[in-house]
Amino acid sequence: MMTLSYDLILLDVQMPAMSGLEVVEQLRNEGIVTPIVMSSANVLSSAISEAIELGANDYLTKPFSLDKFQEMVNKYTDLSVSRA
């Protein structure tokens, strides 16, 4: 069986089949420790708090700039996003 490893998971809160919040909870329950950054247009502090409580490491509110995205990637990985 092949095992995949990721440096960072960027996950939208609203997905078609399953809520991103459910995915975060499931990943954490399975012992996945990869940093998870949630993304949503919902800027309410209660929504952000819920994501963090379920196991997300951080939360990007949409729309976000490339600089903010790069900052988040750099914060949780050894990678950096270069501008083309």
In order of their start, the domains of the chain are 9-71 (3.40.50.2300)
Band of pLDDT at residue 83, cut at 50, 70 and 90: very low
% of the chain beyond a pLDDT of 90: 82
Token pair belonging to 73 = 């990637």
For helices 20-29 and 45-54, what crossing angle results, to 10°?
Answer: 30
Measure the CA–CA gap between 25 and 22, rounded to whole angstroms: 5
pLDDT at residue 5 is higher than 90: no
- Say what the pLDDT of residue 82 is: 52
Tokens 């270069």: give the residue: 82
